[in-house]
């Protein structure tokens, strides 16, 4: 256990056991999948009609937005060039399917059906249509384990959408609300503020919704405020998600890599968070 915890030396064994175990897991997922398929097959015509209607409206809205956003994107890139700022890095997305939720009382993880063979990398963010879900923390050839936002000490650098205030959201364990730590009392926050990824860590692309502030406790004595948030994406609900194959070359991470090449050892590889010196993974 210590060898695995400290040195990550047992990964080959884990990979081999996983290679044996994965087909069995697929076999045992068959009854659930069959059940879901049949219940979907027997959905009534009216619900399908309703769904269709909603989808059509949504599609019209989205296509309008997409036209607009392309224009805005070009304008943004041009302005950035004019101001000699860094360009936004484009990235690909990969549709993934959530296979199952491993029964483990201590961590909150999911297993997805894409792995290193599909181009997934350690530290890639996973999101669904409404916001960020988590991050790839262990990679196999054809599957990967993803830590969810709710996982203990899982940190995401965010920005308040309303005023651009930067902070970090931390997971507080299963079933507990997320926390916004290390903020002074006087910080300009309100209940209902939306937190977006800030992109300064080079792991998450900027501008994706993460959480909504649900409760603020201001503690004047200690000059700190306890801010609790709720994840925007339904973390434990859907089966489909998207992986962002995001790898910014011109970012803080690249700078850190250069620094490590010149001597100092690089400890903060993506996916292994530095805040987590203690505790199990």
The residue among 151 and 193 lying less far from other proteins, judged by its C-beta, is: 151
How far apart are the C-alpha atoms of 185 and 45, rounded to whole Å?
54
The residue among 174 and 218 lying less far from other proteins, judged by its C-beta, is: 174
Distance of CA 53 to the CA centre of its chain: 30
Task: Find the shortest distance in angstroms from Cβ 2 to other proteins.
Answer: 8
Q: Which residues bind other proteins (CB under 8 A)?
A: 1, 3-5, 10, 13-14, 17-18, 20-21, 24-25, 27-29, 31-32, 99-109, 111, 138, 145, 173-175, 278-281
Task: Find the shortest distance in angstroms from Cβ 174 to other proteins.
Answer: 7
Task: Find the shortest distance in angstroms from Cβ 111 to other proteins.
Answer: 7
The residue among 49 and 141 lying less far from other proteins, judged by its C-beta, is: 141
How far apart are the C-alpha atoms of 175 and 24, rounded to whole Å?
30
Distance of CA 42 to the CA centre of its chain: 33
- Tokens for 19? 């290679």
Scan for tokens 């995001």, then name that residue. Answer: 246
Task: Find the shortest distance in angstroms from Cβ 156 to other proteins.
Answer: 20
Q: Are strands 144-148 and 132-139 parallel, antiparallel or unpaired?
A: antiparallel
The residue among 29 and 185 lying less far from other proteins, judged by its C-beta, is: 29
The three-state secondary structure class of 243 is: strand
Task: Find the shortest distance in angstroms from Cβ 127 to other proteins.
Answer: 20
The residue among 146 and 213 lying less far from other proteins, judged by its C-beta, is: 146
The three-state secondary structure class of 227 is: strand
Task: Find the shortest distance in angstroms from Cβ 90 to other proteins.
Answer: 32
- Give the H/E segment covering residue 71: helix 45-82
The residue among 195 and 243 lying less far from other proteins, judged by its C-beta, is: 243
In contact, 150 and 231? CB cutoff 8 Å:
yes
How far apart are the C-alpha atoms of 98 and 143, rounded to whole Å?
10
- Tokens for 273? 């968070």
């Amino acid at each position: 256990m210590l060898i695995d915890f400290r040195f990550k030396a047992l990964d080959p064994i884990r990979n081999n056991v996983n290679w044996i175990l994965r087909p069995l897991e697929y076999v045992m997922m068959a009854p659930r999948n069959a059940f879901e398929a049949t219940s979907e097959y027997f959905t009534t015509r009216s619900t399908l009609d309703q769904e269709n209607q909603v989808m059509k409206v949504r599609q019209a809205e989205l296509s309008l937005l997409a036209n607009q956003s392309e224009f805005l994107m070009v304008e943004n890139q041009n302005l950035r060039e004019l101001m000699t700022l860094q360009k936004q890095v484009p990235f690909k997305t990969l549709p993934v399917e959530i296979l199952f939720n491993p029964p483990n009382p201590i961590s909150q993880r999911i297993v997805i059906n894409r792995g290193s063979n599909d181009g997934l990398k350690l530290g890639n963010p996973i999101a669904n249509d409404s916001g960020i879900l988590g991050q790839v923390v262990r990679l196999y050839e054809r599957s990967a384990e993803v830590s969810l936002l709710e996982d203990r000490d899982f940190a995401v650098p965010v920005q308040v959408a309303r005023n651009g205030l930067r902070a970090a959201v931390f997971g507080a364990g299963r079933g507990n609300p997320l926390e916004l730590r290390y903020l002074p009392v006087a910080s300009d926050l309100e209940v209902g503020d939306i937190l977006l990824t800030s992109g300064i860590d080079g792991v998450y692309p900027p501008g994706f919704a993460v959480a909504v502030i649900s409760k603020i406790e201001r503690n004047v004595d200690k000059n700190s405020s306890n801010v609790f948030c709720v994840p925007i994406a339904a973390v434990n609900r859907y089966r489909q998600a998207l992986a962002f194959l995001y790898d910014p070359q011109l970012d803080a991470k690249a700078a850190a890599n250069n620094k490590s090449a010149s001597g100092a050892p690089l400890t903060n590889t993506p996916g292994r968070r530095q805040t987590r010196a203690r505790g199990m993974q």
